[in-house]
């Protein structure tokens, strides 16, 4: 065996254990949000910090540098593995272990503080924790940026290759048409009926489970639990999802579930050959979000699929207020004033993201102080949405992300929407009779196409590359905006 092949094998053997430990760290996060007794929060922060210390030491192990110098990838898979390991090694090596552990500790503590503050609508109670997280994230960004843009350095962790400038261009391309569409929709003579009534929480959860099954979620390798903020967690053969239930709004539970199923199916759809290797996870948050959003929206909120869901709703909730499948389609997609990003319709969703993108960028650059964040949020929200935030849990405290240190993450949601628009165009071309299948609750053709063209590759290609290969064209915002204008013009009879 050549020296290069030996180095590769040694490297991958060590990396495999690092990946396994990374899975453990992720599951600890899952446990914290679903199962952990509240009194354990300080201890958990120490545990997370210790685990991060282990992971950081492994990621910066000097042997990795030596192996990377000797190893050459024998094929495209090996080359991609080495690329990911090199990237992780270079990034981790720039961050002192002390800082990595402090971040793990603080973000674990801050999540609990955020959840309490959100429940009590008490921004002041969250501010000190947020201030500490931002200070640490700015320190981390400075280590990574090495003189470059602090916010770009953080974005790169979630979306390799993206920058604030490239994302800003994307948003500039989206905003005018989205704002115009929203205005046309809100002023339209025809308005779909809102959903009214109370919906039994157990029945909502039962339907959510059936929807997960309909989208191909493998219950043998996953599970569904409740959490304050829906999320998915884990890779390989253990990809779990969470949802939440609001009695007056079953779409919250149902579409959160489909969304998280999209994330989990991406992880579960990756080639088993890549399990516990750097290729064995979704390649970026943008590509991840493309899967969750196409499951949720282009498939789950389509006229065809909501037609099937209408029957499911009737079977569970009787005459629940929608007079027929056509009315239900309108109700599911109704555009209305709302505070909450995760409950937003497809027209307004990206406007919620733009707000966060602009605010978190200046927070990280030091141009906005955390103490001024609530006011900045409320001002911007009123300007963008035309009405005032009524309480912090509907405003600046609604999202878990900043408490976890996820700065640079929000814009990947809109990138995911853009990718989902492109993938939907390609999927529809590849499966011309898709709607006929969706109308019977069968998603197989869609989910198979996504698995074969996107999910199975894991980290093999660069993020934009995997979308480009799947679509046959370079991703851009056109398909998403065309799709939205067509769909909402139809619903609102524009």
**Residues labelled catalytic:** 260
CB of 37 to a copy of itself, least distance (A): 5
> How near is the Cβ of 221 to a copy of itself at its closest, in Å?
4
Site residues (vs a copy of itself, CB under 8 A): 16-18, 20-21, 23-24, 27-28, 31, 35-40, 42-44, 46-47, 49-51, 53-54, 218-223, 236-238, 240, 275-276
The minimum distance between CB 112 and a copy of itself, in angstroms, equals 12
Q: How far apart are CA 285 and CA 157, in angstroms?
A: 9
Query: What's the CA dihedral at 33, 38, 40, 42 to 10 degrees?
Result: 90
3-state secondary structure at position 226: strand
Q: Are 451 and 267 in contact (CB under 8 A)?
A: no
| Min separation Cβ 209 and a copy of itself, Å | 14
- State whether residue 232 is helix, strand or coil: strand
Alpha-helical segments (H) within 95-122:
97-120
Pick between residue 225 and residue 247 the one whose CB is nearest to a copy of itself.
225
Pick 115 or 154: Cβ nearer a copy of itself = 115
User: Least Å distance between CB 228 and a copy of itself?
Assistant: 17
Residue 35 burial class via C-beta count within 10 angstroms: exposed 0-12, middle 13-18, buried 19 and up: exposed
Which C-beta is closer to a copy of itself: that of 218 or that of 465? 218
CB of 438 within 8 A of CB of 304? Answer: yes
| C-alpha–C-alpha distance, residues 207 and 226, integer Å | 14
Minimum distance, C-beta of residue 235 to a copy of itself, in the bound complex (Å):
9
Between 23 and 333, whose beta carbon lies closer to a copy of itself? 23
What radius of gyration do the chain's Cα atoms show?
A: 22
Backbone angles phi, psi at 233, to 5 degrees: -155, 135
Nearer of residues 18 and 425 to a copy of itself, judged by Cβ: 18
Closer CB to a copy of itself, 142 or 275, in the complex: 275
Taking the C-alpha atoms of residue 383 and residue 361, their distance in angstroms, rounded to an integer, is: 18
Q: d(Cα 6, Cα 20) in Å, to the nearest integer?
A: 21
Between CA 188 and CA 202 the distance in angstroms is: 36
Q: How many CB atoms lie within 10 A of CB 82?
A: 20
């Amino acid at each position: 065996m050549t020296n290069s092949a030996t180095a590769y094998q040694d490297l991958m053997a060590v990396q495999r254990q690092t990946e396994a430990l990374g899975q453990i760290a992720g599951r600890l996060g899952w446990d914290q949000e679903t199962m952990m007794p509240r009194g354990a929060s300080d201890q958990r922060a120490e545990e997370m910090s210790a685990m991060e210390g282990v992971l950081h030491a492994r990621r910066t192990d000097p042997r990795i540098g030596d192996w990377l110098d000797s190893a050459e990838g024998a094929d495209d898979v090996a080359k991609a593995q080495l690329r990911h390991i090199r990237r992780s090694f270079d990034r981790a090596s720039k961050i002192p272990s002390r800082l990595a552990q402090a971040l793990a500790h603080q973000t674990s503590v801050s999540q609990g503080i955020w959840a309490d503050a959100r429940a009590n609508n008490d921004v002041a109670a969250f501010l000190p924790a947020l201030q500490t997280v931002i200070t640490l994230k700015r320190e981390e960004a400075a280590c990574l940026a090495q003189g470059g843009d602090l916010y770009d350095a953080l974005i790169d962790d979630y979306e390799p290759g993206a920058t604030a400038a490239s994302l800003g261009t994307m948003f500039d391309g989206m905003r005018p048409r989205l704002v115009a569409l929203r205005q046309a929709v809100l002023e339209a003579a025809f308005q779909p009926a809102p959903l009214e009534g109370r919906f039994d929480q157990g029945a909502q959860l039962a339907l959510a489970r059936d929807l997960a099954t309909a989208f191909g979620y493998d219950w043998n390798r996953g599970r569904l639990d409740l959490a304050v903020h829906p999320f998915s967690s884990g890779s390989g053969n253990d990809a779990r999802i969470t949802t939440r239930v609001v009695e007056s709004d079953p779409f919250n539970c149902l579409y959160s579930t489909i969304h998280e199923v999209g994330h989990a199916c991406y992880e579960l759809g990756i080639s088993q050959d890549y399990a516990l290797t750097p290729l064995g996870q979704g390649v970026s948050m943008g590509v991840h979000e493309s899967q969750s959003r196409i499951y949720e929206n282009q498939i789950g909120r389509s006229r065809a699929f909501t037609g099937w869901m209408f029957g499911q709703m009737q079977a569970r909730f009787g005459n629940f207020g929608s007079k027929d499948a056509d009315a239900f389609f309108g109700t599911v997609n109704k555009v209305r004033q709302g505070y909450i990003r995760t409950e937003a319709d497809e027209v307004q969703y990206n406007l919620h993201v733009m707000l966060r993108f602009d605010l978190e960028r200046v927070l990280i650059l030091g141009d906005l102080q955390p103490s001024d964040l609530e006011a900045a949020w409320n001002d911007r929200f009123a300007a963008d949405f035309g009405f005032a935030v009524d309480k912090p849990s509907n405003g600046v405290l609604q999202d878990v992300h900043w408490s976890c240190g996820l700065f640079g993450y929000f814009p990947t949601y809109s990138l995911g929407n853009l990718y989902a628009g492109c993938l939907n165009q390609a999927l529809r071309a590849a499966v011309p009779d898709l709607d006929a299948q969706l109308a019977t609750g069968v998603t197989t053709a869609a989910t198979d196409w996504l698995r074969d063209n996107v999910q199975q590759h894991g980290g093999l290609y660069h993020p934009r590359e995997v979308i480009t290969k799947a679509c046959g064209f370079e991703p851009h915002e056109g398909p998403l905006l065309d799709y939205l204008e067509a769909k909402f013009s139809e619903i609102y009879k524009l």
